[in-house]
Amino acid sequence: MNDSRDIIAAMASPLRASARRNVVCAASFCCAVGLGLPRLAWAASLPAHDPLQILLVSDEVNPHGLTPEELTQPGDLAAALSDPTNGINVESLLHVPSAELGDATAALEGGSVDVLVYFAHQTGPGQPEFTRAVEQHLIRGGGVVVFHHGMYTAGGKEPILELLGVTCSGVLWEETNGQAVVNVAPDHFVTTQGLTLAGSTALEGSALGVQAGSYPSFTNVPDEIYPSTRLLTAEGEERELLFVGISEGGGSGGERVLSYDLRRPEWSGHVIAYQPGEYQPQALDLSGVNFQVLANAIYYTATTQDDPSPSTDESGGASATGEDTTESGADTTGSSSTSTSADEAGGDNDATSDASATGNASSSTETGANDESESADDASDADPAESSADDGVAAGSSESDETAAVSGAASAGCSCSTGAPTPLAPMGLLWMGLGFARRRRLRTPRS
């Protein structure tokens, strides 16, 4: 081994080969230092911070037939997040496949996780218990980063998407023009820390509520685009749009939501969503802008805590202005209203983006181990409630009009605090048995 990256590559190889859960911890860093191996300059620029315990829940889909070197795979993401040169001070990383959620639930219930990185397109056995544990994690002040296809609709995912505030459908591979990633929140930590965006993109204003003007941006070429992105809102929430996407040359429709910062009234923690992530050379380039955004999101959700807001009317479905915002299967061209805190930058964040699939982008279908579809053109005839009970993994195609996803979320809601506790799974016991369970870190209150 020539440097610390060889250690990380060796640790990542079994993840790629078998897609089994793995624990990657700060031992990689200690080993590199202990062996006297050269330490590379930090790739992401972050303020000094306590070591973080990260839980990664992930799976793989490859609708465009990308090679292993091109596709962002779960093992690649785990290796990048545990790389001792990535700029994130990682104490431990627990990597759990979406098909084995019991270990993830146990880790969250143990209270030692700082940040959940949710990179799961599929559901798995124990999904309801996992969703409840994620909600309690946010209530306690923990952070969640919803990365790439973690935002995407699938049968059985409706309750967790409702909790995380988003559902996406349709998939395009924009190889010619790519996607401009536009910073519409110039004062937010996630959009500014360590970032100098040389590009500039003019926005004309849209249903997203972003004011017309010129904004800093960068462009990913190629990039995967979700033409339909709907924000699922709740009464009293605070949400700020961070990045919006637009195809260079107008090839794949208008503005769409790529990233936001969300806090619901009962939460002390925050959710950051970030959609770009399909193309590995961009997403996991430790010196690149996309990884800096991901690192910023992890740091921000780990160190930012707010006091829960006063209780609101539990009837739901109303924004701060009294307007009905409950999603109930309405057409994706309708817009939703969100409530934004007074200290948040940005405009009126109306919540719907529905871009037309035109121009040079090619439409394809997301397929994976369970033949999950992400095509906006192919509607599913299967009821999500009829998903296979044998293996607990939802199968079938996503509905392009999102009726199933939205109506399912509306019926399930995100009041997930009831139910019997989940017994600690073996990996959860190991997580705590190795001494990873420790006192909750003090987080930085938002001013």
Condensed to tens digits (0 to 9), the pLDDT of residues 132-187 reads 999 999 999 999 999 999 999 999 999 999 999 999 999 999 998 899 999 999 99
Which residues constitute the domain of residue 243? 4-445
Of the listed ranges 6-15, 74-83, 210-219, the one predicted with least confidence? 6-15
Average predicted confidence (pLDDT) for the chain: 73
Which token pair is 413?
């809601």
From residue 36, alpha-carbon distances to 83, 149, 285, 339 in Å are 16, 39, 25, 52
The long-range contacts involving 186-190, CB below 8 angstroms and separated by at least 24 positions, are: 186/215, 186/216, 186/345, 187/345, 188/240, 188/242, 188/261, 188/344, 188/345, 189/296, 189/299, 189/300, 189/304, 190/242, 190/259, 190/261, 190/272, 190/293, 190/296, 190/297, 190/300
> Which residues, at least 6 apart from 37, have a Cβ–Cβ distance to it below 8 Å?
1, 3, 4, 7
Of the listed ranges 22-26, 58-62, 286-290, 323-327, the one predicted with least confidence? 323-327
pLDDT tier at 207, thresholds 50, 70, 90? confident
Residue 262, pLDDT > 80, answer yes
- Per-residue HEC secondary structure of the chain comes to CCCHHHHHHHHHHHHHHHCCCEEEECHHHHHHHHCCCCCCCCCCCCCCCCCEEEEEEECCECCCCCCCCCECCHHHHHHHHHCCCCCCCEEEEEEEECCCHHHHHHHHHCCCCCEEEEECCCCCCCHHHHHHHHHHHHHHCCEEEEEHHHHECCCCCHHHHHHHCEEEECCEEECCCCEEEEECCCCCHHHHCCCCCCEEEEECCCCCCCCCEEEEEEEECCEEECCEEEECCCCCCEEEEEEEEEEHHHCCCCCEEEEEEEECCCCCCCEEEECCCCEHHHHCCCCCHHHHHHHHHHHHHHHEECCCCCCCCCCCCECCCCCECCCCCCCCCCCCCCCCCCCCCCCCCCCEEECCCCCCCEECCCCECCCCECCCCCCCCCCHHHCCCCCCCCCCECCCCCHHHHHHHHHHCCCCCCCCCCCCCHHHHHHHHCCCCCCCCCCEECC
Of the listed ranges 3-12, 141-150, 255-264, the one predicted with least confidence? 3-12
Condensed to tens digits (0 to 9), the pLDDT of residues 22-54 reads 454 444 444 333 333 333 445 899 999 999 999
Task: Please state, in angstroms and rounded to a whole number, the distance separating the CA atoms of residues 409 and 159.
Answer: 5
More confident residue, 374 or 229: 229
Condensed to tens digits (0 to 9), the pLDDT of residues 327-378 reads 433 333 333 333 333 333 333 334 444 443 333 444 444 444 343 444 433 4
With tokens 């080969």, the residue in question is: 17
**The CATH number of the domain where 242 resides is what?**
3.40.50.880
Task: Please state, in angstroms and rounded to a whole number, the distance separating the CA atoms of residues 104 and 131.
Answer: 10
Residue 321, pLDDT > 60, answer no
pLDDT tier at 254, thresholds 50, 70, 90? confident
More confident residue, 255 or 156: 156
More confident residue, 149 or 404: 149
Residue 19, pLDDT > 80, answer no
- pLDDT of 22 reads 47
275 closest CA partner among 135, 147, 406: 147
pTM of the model: 0.70
Q: Max Cα separation, the chain? A: 62
Looking at the structure of the chain, the number of domains it has is 1
